Amino acid sequence: MPKLFEYLGIIVLFYSNEHEPIHVHGKYQGRESKADLILRDGKIIEIIISSVKGKRPLLQTQLKDFQELTQHFADEIVQKWIDYFVLHKPIQARRITTRIN
C-alpha cells in the first residue's frame, strides 16, 4: 500500500489492489475517506469525496484538509497512479508540513 503524502497527520495512499476510477484514500486516527478523480479526455473534471464502506469517515476538519490536498495535487496523484499501477514504478511519498492555501 504505497503512501503518497502525509499532510497534517493525514496519510494519503493507494491500496495495492486498487481499481478504477483513479482514487486515493485518506486515513487519520482510525478514520478513512476516499477521493475519486474523474477524468475525461485525460483531464480531471471532478473530484468526489466519499466514505469508505465499513470505515468511519474523516472528521470535518481532516475531510476539508484531505479535499484541499487532493485538489491541489490532483495531477500528481494521477501521475503516481500511472507510475504505480501501469508502469510498475516505485512511489516516493511526500511529507507536507505547511498548510495548503
| Separation of alpha carbons 16 and 4, rounded Å | 12
Domain ranges of the chain: 3-94
Q: What is the pLDDT of residue 57?
A: 98
Counting Cα atoms < 13 Å in the Cβ hemisphere of 27 gives: 13
Q: Which residues pair with 98 in a beta bridge?
A: none
DSSP secondary structure letters along 42-55:
TEEEEEEEEE-TTS
| Distance, CA of 87 to chain centre | 19
**CB-based contact 11:29 (threshold 8 Å):** no
Q: What is the mean pLDDT of residues 58-73?
A: 96
Q: What is the pTM of this model?
A: 0.92
Determine the Cα–Cα distance for residues 25 and 50; give it in Å rounded to an integer.
10
Mean pLDDT of 81-86: 93
Work out the average pLDDT over 18-46: 94
If pLDDT is split at 50, 70 and 90, which confidence band does 16 have? confident
pLDDT at 3: 95
